[in-house]
Structure 1
Amino acid sequence: MKGSRLPNTQTLLSIFSISILAIIVVFFLRSDIPYTPTLTVKSHLIQDYHHIVQDVEKSSIVMNFREHAEFKNLSHEYDIYWKNTRPPNGGYFAWLDETGTRRRDGISMFHQLHCLVMLREAMQGLGEEIQSLKAMRRDTAHEDHAMHTEHDDLHWLHCFDYLRQAILCNADSTFEPHLMNSNGKDIVDGMIERDCKDWSLLYKASEKSDFQSLVLDNE
């Protein structure tokens, strides 16, 4: 029974890891043109945000992607680094409605970073079970399989660091309006219409290259 239960648990953990990385990829299917919700509020704060968006879209910063040890592990020792990926206010944009009430709406880049942090915390919660599985593997698996498992761990930890940098590089400035949930609480879920880049072009280009390889122009 012990031997049959181990593969099932390993499979579930593998599916979980692959699933969360697939979910994160969705966040990068954004366009350079942010979605702006219809607003009837004549707020100087909203106008200021439009100017900020324009500045962001026109900006260009060279960013060298590199490995960061502090972002490539699940140790609580490095939680502070992940906490600091967002500003102290959580990355919201505050504005006043027609009644003078202060509202807080979201900015996509910070929402994406928040989701990445939440996924990391979920992986931390599985830490004890993962360590237990590794101990069981060492008792039952060959040395070469154990080395392969360690390589896989390093791979998805690298992915967390890579995706964090990709979110920052993309700097999605989409305005995410707040809404009221069934409990009467203001929330920001980011589930809104967006103008996106046509990612199907990349799929087609990749598939086409299988039988019609691209030729680089050295000139």
Structure 2
Amino acid sequence: MPSKQLALTILAVLALANVYLDVLLSRIAQQVARRRERPLSTYSFLDDDRPPLFPGKGAKRSVRMSVEDSAHYSLLSAQSTEEWLWISTVGDGDLRLGPAHRVFGVGMTHQQHCLQYLLDALQAPHPAHGEHREHPEHCLNHIRQYVLCDADITLEPPDVLDRNSTQERWIGEHRCVDWEMLRAEFRRNWMEWRLVRDGKETEIPSLALYA
């Protein structure tokens, strides 16, 4: 009798362990399914049925960037306009996604637009007044929120704000989205949209901001 009771106890324990493992594996499978990216073809791009992030490969690939002072991107040099233009994306900064080519804005291009607008405001001969002040104020507030959202915690030396172009300084590596690949995908998306809109292929210069 004791051996039979022991056997039943062991079977009960094994059954409970099996149920526990089934529940655990089910939860793990659900977590994996939630993390797995939904195929782009399954989105209708109507209302809220859209991916939360730009579904391009450039948005998933990271690169390292060392922050350093630069003799470029100044306020008053003759070539600064083209230098700031060079970092902009081709087209109007928006993406067209889905079968109906729905228009989406992107945080990166919104930030670039704000940088360009603030640069224009700083280069203007007179301070902006009235309604012309609203856009720079919007851009400052917008960039403030993006800085808080990113919350980069890369450690930097205490003299990081001391400008010195006479010696090389290492300020620390930051892990970033591959912006070059992202810009290439923006360019491809814009050219595909131009083909749909105009019915013909268009060659866009690499420095074009609007076309």
What TM-score results when the alignment is normalised by the length of structure 1?
0.33
Q: Which has the larger radius of gyration?
A: 2
What TM-score results when the alignment is normalised by the length of structure 2?
0.34
